[in-house]
């Protein structure tokens, strides 16, 4: 008994001795203690409206000086964009990096709740992914990713994570497709052709399964003279309003209610592959102002909601529509509905690398040039940021070859 007591006391004593005393520190002094955070420190000082009365239990993603330099056009951000961007760097929870498992992705709500920028319930989101090597990557709008360079700096209200890119506030589907995901222009054009863009803009917390351009090219003949109402119904079947679901939250055999009167979409998971009905998700978790987009390799049919993938296929899943007429794919083949995209300041939109985000809120027009933005496949640090990671991306490529 005595021996037990003394060893217990010893344990308590050593805990007291060896637990470092955690000193409260204000944000400014924590930032000042790090090299290369001059720009962010200046922004914190200049925006007491945002940083003076921070709530408890938060995480601040602090881009370093090189991140602002890399962005290339920070000087052109007006005050409302600066404020939105800063709020997008404040996560509403305290998230320490060791708590994320290797290979896992999680999402975090941010303080960006202004409806001009985001209608995602609880605030626009960032995705945090821990790579197999252990580093954590933040993913934001326009496929912009930042790696955590200095982890878990403690301050009065939570933690600071120093990152190497400025997170970009997600914008509309249109703006995102034009400046970073050119493979979605047929889908976006089709939404315009059927006057569905304004309907989509009003929806919150959307999950969109957006077929890539080649899927529309394959069915060019089928869509050529399709009745507008019929096409509208097909497109609505690709949109799930009010149920923002990241790819890792899509459970096998679960279903989601689409904007086609709740007509169901069914998820199938097989090894590293994820399908919605019989279409494969080839790029996941593209953040937009009112939710997110998963890019798929086939157009879905609302009349064939019971279609499922043939998981034994080593090639891509065939289209569920019967192709008629033109079915060729590739960059030299015209993209259906591309001409329905409204013209922006630098038409024609058929030269996507030059297309600015003129219709978007941010409109910095540098998406394609940004070291982080771009069409799939993502940079190496970004692959897992898509949630499904290498397995899916490689699988998709193999299927195409």
Ligand X SMILES: *[C@@H]1O[C@H](CO)[C@@H](O)[C@H](O)[C@H]1NC(C)=O
Binding site for ligand X (CB under 6 A): 35-36, 39, 42-43, 46, 66, 78, 80-81, 243, 245, 249-257, 268-269, 361-363
Nearer to ligand X, 256 or 399 (CB): 256
Q: Minimum distance between the CB of residue 46 and ligand X, rounded to whole angstroms?
A: 4
| 319 neighbors 298 (Cβ within 8 angstroms) | yes
Structure tokens at 44: 């914190």
Neighbouring C-beta atoms of residue 28, cutoff 10 Å: 13
Q: Minimum distance between the CB of residue 328 and ligand X, rounded to whole angstroms?
A: 34
Separation CA 373–CA 364 (nearest Å):
13
Q: Minimum distance between the CB of residue 38 and ligand X, rounded to whole angstroms?
A: 8
What residues have CB less than 8 Å from 347, skipping those under 6 apart? none
Q: Which of 127, 377, 397 is nearest to 248 (CA)?
A: 127
| 189 neighbors 382 (Cβ within 8 angstroms) | no
| 247 neighbors 285 (Cβ within 8 angstroms) | yes
Nearer to ligand X, 39 or 124 (CB): 39
Nearer to ligand X, 111 or 366 (CB): 366
Separation CA 145–CA 302 (nearest Å):
35
Q: Minimum distance between the CB of residue 116 and ligand X, rounded to whole angstroms?
A: 9
Q: Report the residue number whose CB is nearest to ligand X.
A: 42
Nearer to ligand X, 110 or 366 (CB): 366
Q: Minimum distance between the CB of residue 45 and ligand X, rounded to whole angstroms?
A: 7
Nearer to ligand X, 41 or 92 (CB): 41
Q: Minimum distance between the CB of residue 254 and ligand X, rounded to whole angstroms?
A: 4
Please identify which residue in the block is written with the tokens 């771009």. 374
Structure tokens at 336: 């259906």
Separation CA 216–CA 221 (nearest Å):
9
Nearer to ligand X, 110 or 357 (CB): 357
């Amino acid at each position: 008994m005595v021996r037990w007591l003394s060893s217990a006391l010893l344990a308590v004593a050593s805990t007291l001795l060896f637990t470092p005393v955690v000193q409260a520190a204000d944000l400014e002094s924590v930032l000042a203690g790090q090299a290369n955070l001059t720009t962010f420190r200046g922004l914190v000082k200049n925006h007491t409206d945002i940083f003076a009365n921070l709530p408890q239990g938060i995480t601040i993603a602090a881009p370093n000086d090189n991140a602002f330099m890399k962005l290339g056009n920070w000087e052109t951000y007006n005050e409302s964009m600066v404020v939105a961007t800063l709020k997008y760097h404040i996560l509403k929870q305290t998230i320490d990096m060791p708590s994320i498992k290797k290979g896992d992705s999680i999402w975090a709500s941010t303080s960006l709740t202004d409806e001009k920028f985001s209608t995602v319930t609880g605030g626009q989101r960032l995705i945090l992914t821990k790579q197999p090597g252990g580093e954590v990557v933040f993913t934001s709008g326009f496929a912009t990713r930042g790696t955590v360079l200095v982890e878990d700096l403690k301050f009065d209200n939570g933690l600071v994570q120093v990152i190497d890119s400025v997170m970009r506030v997600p914008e509309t589907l249109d703006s995102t497709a034009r400046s970073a995901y050119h493979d979605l222009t047929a889908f976006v054009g089709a939404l315009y052709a059927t006057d569905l863009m304004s309907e989509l803009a009003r929806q919150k917390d959307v999950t969109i399964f957006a077929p890539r351009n080649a899927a529309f090219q394959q069915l060019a003949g089928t869509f050529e003279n399709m009745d507008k109402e019929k096409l509208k119904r097909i497109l609505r079947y690709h949109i799930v309003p009010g149920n923002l679901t990241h790819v890792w939250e899509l459970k096998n055999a679960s279903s989601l209610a689409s904007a086609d009167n709740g007509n169901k979409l069914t998820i199938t998971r097989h090894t590293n592959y994820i399908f919605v009905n019989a279409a494969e998700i080839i790029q996941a978790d593209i953040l937009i102002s009112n939710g997110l987009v998963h890019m798929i390799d086939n157009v879905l049919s609302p009349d064939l909601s019971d279609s499922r993938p043939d998981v034994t296929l080593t090639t891509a899943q065939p289209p569920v529509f019967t192709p008629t007429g033109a079915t060729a794919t590739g960059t030299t083949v015209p993209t259906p509905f591309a001409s329905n995209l409204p013209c922006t300041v630098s038409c024609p939109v058929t030269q996507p690398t030059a297309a600015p985000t003129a219709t978007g809120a941010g409109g910095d027009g540098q998406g394609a040039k940004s070291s982080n933005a771009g069409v799939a496949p993502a940079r190496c640090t970004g692959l897992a940021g898509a949630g499904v990671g290498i397995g899916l991306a490689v699988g998709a490529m193999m299927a195409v070859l």
